[in-house]
Chain A
Amino acid sequence: MTDFNLVEWRFERRLDPRPAARIVALAVAAAAAALVCSLLFIAAGASPRAAFAALLQGSFGSLRAAGETLVKATPLIFTGLAACVAFRARIWNIGAEGQVFAGAMFAYWLQHNLTGFPPFVQIPVVIAGGIVGGALYAGLAGVLKTRFSVDEVISTVMLNYIIVYVLSLLLLRGPWSEAGGFFEQTPKVDPDSALPLLFSGSRLHFGFLLAIVTAGLVQMLLTRTPLGYEIKAAGSNIRALEVQGTNTRRLILVVLLVSGALAGLAGITEVYGVHYRLKAGAITGYGYSGIIVAILGQLHPVGVVVASVLFGALLNGATLMQIKTSVPSALIYAIQAILLLFFLAGWAACNFRLRRVARA
């Protein structure tokens, strides 16, 4: 007889999670998500193989499709970076969604008075408008947190709901509505305010370049500046930072302003790079997807860009998938969340190891 009864398996917390284990976790999460996804395809009555093939063809099948994938990735890079900066400091800015709206609205407010000015006047105003609008709206949550101790998770979510109605107020028989128009949208913007296209034959626009450059800047901000150091320190222990003499209220406010400014840029790339008019449908959903992108990208700017391109591909390929296999494209949003859940679980599981211990 063995001493079987005296031994049990127990989960223990690992003190030194290895980086390689995280990569494995990511791969396992992706495989598990693909499996669940296949089951959902089968449930919708489509062959998983055909659906995945259509997804791939729609996202990278041609130069045009690949360009469109990058167009879809552009706003996600901005909102992903927004979440990246805030979450690193453990400031839970869930409000990128509303800050995207604020950026687009503030830019439109400034720009629509400048119709007729040359592009070198209008385009910088649009970009500045996106930055300021997003920053102001996030700053509101910052003031609520630092002055009134309102939890930022809840205030940013509430602000997300509020701004949708504010935009609707301005667009539906409001000052910005299209004359004689039936839909809730502004008229087309002046072509001289639009972000220039990078190539002919593709909708890929200047916003994508701006997103890549911004990712580089955020990387520098996080690794080479005092603010980056403070963000890192706040993420591990904000009390300790306070004891060191850092004004943490100011830090929280600054982090939210930067995060909001990044999110605001996503609003202008959609309005001035893709749709050429302001409407809710053009800017909805990027804020929440950006949070997933940031976490899958391990809160690292390079990871954010990679995850954004992946998600851009999913969004873009979904259209062809729906046409070819009649699987509803709404599946993409479910897949994103499933991928995130598996990834979180995998990441957390890395912190544990199974060990044989003698029973007490």
Chain B
Amino acid sequence: MLDALFQAAVLTSVAAATIRISTPLLLASLGELVAERSGVYNMGLEGMMLMGAFTSYLAAYESGSLWLGVLAAGLTGALMALVFAVLVITLKIEQIVTGLAVNLLGAGLSTYWLRSAFAGDGKTPTIPFFADVPVPGLSNIPVLGPILFDQRMLTYIAFLMVPAVWLFLFRTRYGLIVRCAGDNPKALDVKGVRVAPVQYAAVVFGGLMAGLAGAFLSVGQAARFVPDMTNGRGWLAIIIVIAGLWRPYPILVAALVFSFLDALQLQIQGVGIAIPYQFMLMMPYVAAIVALMIRRSRASAPARLGVPYTRE
């Protein structure tokens, strides 16, 4: 039975699924990376992603345009992040508790809104979802073509964001300012750069990316919204940032590892191997704990991560 898993066609489809599944994890964790580099722990990622998934579904359903859905998701994530930023940066409320409140808000509000927008038989209509966009020429390369160059537009965007975020953080002046806000905000203050606006911008960017990640789940993949459909992906994104040592390329690797576990589970269910599916579904969460057990050193974390900056 295991032979079935190792056929070339199956391996290709597992690899292609890994790339596809990594999209929301990559978008959310790159956003979280920027926020954390500025010194703010955004633990509300799960809720922002969930609301993004819902608003993109609703907007796409009402307007008939998937891209309007994506836009709605980005705006929703950014708006929630703005509220979060006011609470943790200006009012300096405990970041963990605030993040949790945002998660609960996302879960409650999306379910409530879904039920009041689609009252009646309790079924939500499906919408068309994003089709694969083969890259001309490249998608014809044997093996690699169908894996890498026959994906959805949001997936290409997510992968292009990896070098883009790297360039921004490590090769631009603004990136330096963001990193400085997380490592040594006082130095920034002394130089005459106000810390709070930098952190606001970083956190709002993180929320926008979380919203886009949510959009991929609903309009990019499932073609509908299901309550709690993020299912811990926001938390996995936070773990990916830690496992990726707060750097874009290692984050890409970590996101691919988690996605591979998920892709494998889909394939095993498809092939009909007799492992209870619950075992496979809990794998990413178990792997997350193991990853944190291995990556014990926090030496590469921003020095002032999670500590609100107060001018003396």
Contacts and interface: CB of A to CB of B under 8 A. Distances in A.
Interface stretch (B107-115, B129-137, B145-153): B107-115
B285 interface: yes
B282 A150 contact: no
Contact of A161 (B93, B108, B282): B282
B194 interface: no
Given A158-B235, A169-B279, A348-B92, A336 B112 contact: no
A327 interface: yes
B235 A150 contact: no
A269 B104 CA distance: 24
Nearest to A43: B116
A338 B108 CA distance: 10
Nearest to B227: A330
A13 B311 CA distance: 11
Interface string B84-103: 00110001110011101110
A110 interface: no
Contact of A292 (B104, B112, B278, B285): B104
B108 A337 contact: yes
A4 interface: no
Given A169-B279, A341-B87, A161 B105 contact: no
A151 interface: yes
A330 B296 contact: no
B286 A157 contact: no
A153 B115 CA distance: 31
A236 interface: no
Nearest to B99: A153
Interface in B144-163: none
Contact of B232 (A149, A153, A157): A157
Interface size class of B (residues with CB under 8 A): 35 or more
Contacts, number: 128
Contacts of B282: 161-162, 165-166
Contact of A345 (B93, B100, B281, B285): B93
B310 interface: yes
A341 B86 CA distance: 11
A344 interface: yes
Interface stretch (B18-26, B205-213, B244-252, B287-295): B287-295
Nearest to B295: A150
B239 interface: yes
B119 A162 contact: no
A9 interface: no
B276 interface: yes
Contacts of B86: 345
Contacts of B227: 330
Contacts of A158: 232, 235, 239, 285-286, 288-289
Given A158-B288, A161-B282, A333-B107, A169 B97 contact: no
Contact of A349 (B91, B96, B288): B91
A150 B92 contact: no
A155 B292 contact: yes
Counting chain A CB atoms within 10 Å of each CB, which of B83, B102, B289 scores highest? B289
A93 B232 CA distance: 17
A234 to B, nearest CB: 15
Contacts of A348: 87, 91-93
A44 B87 contact: no
Contacts of B231: 161
Nearest to B83: A341
Contacts of A335: 108
A125 interface: no
Interface in A297-355: 326-328, 330-338, 340-341, 344-345, 347-349, 352
A153 B100 CA distance: 10
Interface in B32-75: 43
Given A154-B239, A157-B235, A349-B91, A337 B116 contact: no
Contacts of B242: 154
Contacts of A57: none
B86 to A, nearest CB: 8
B87 A328 contact: no
A247 to B, nearest CB: 20
A151 B114 CA distance: 34
A26 interface: no
A313 B278 CA distance: 35
B238 interface: yes
Given A288-B104, A331-B112, A337-B109, A345 B293 contact: no
Given A92-B96, A149-B296, A327-B116, A334 B109 contact: yes
B289 A155 contact: yes
A327 B113 CA distance: 10
B192 to A, nearest CB: 14
A219 to B, nearest CB: 22
Nearest to A158: B285
Contacts of A268: none
Contact of B112 (A92, A288, A333): A333
9 contacts: A44-B116, A162-B282, A166-B282, A288-B104, A291-B100, A292-B101, A330-B227, A337-B107, A352-B91
Interface of B: 43, 83, 86-87, 91-93, 96-98, 100-102, 104-105, 107-109, 111-112, 114-116, 119, 227, 231-232, 235, 238-239, 242, 276, 278-279, 281-282, 285-286, 288-289, 292-293, 296, 310
Which 8 A-B pairs rank lowest in CB-CB distance, beginning with the nearest? A333-B108, A334-B108, A328-B115, A337-B105, A337-B104, A348-B91, A165-B278, A330-B111
Given A172-B278, A291-B100, 17 more contacts: A92-B96, A144-B289, A150-B289, A150-B293, A157-B235, A158-B286, A169-B278, A292-B101, A328-B111, A328-B115, A330-B114, A332-B108, A334-B105, A344-B87, A348-B91, A348-B93, A352-B91
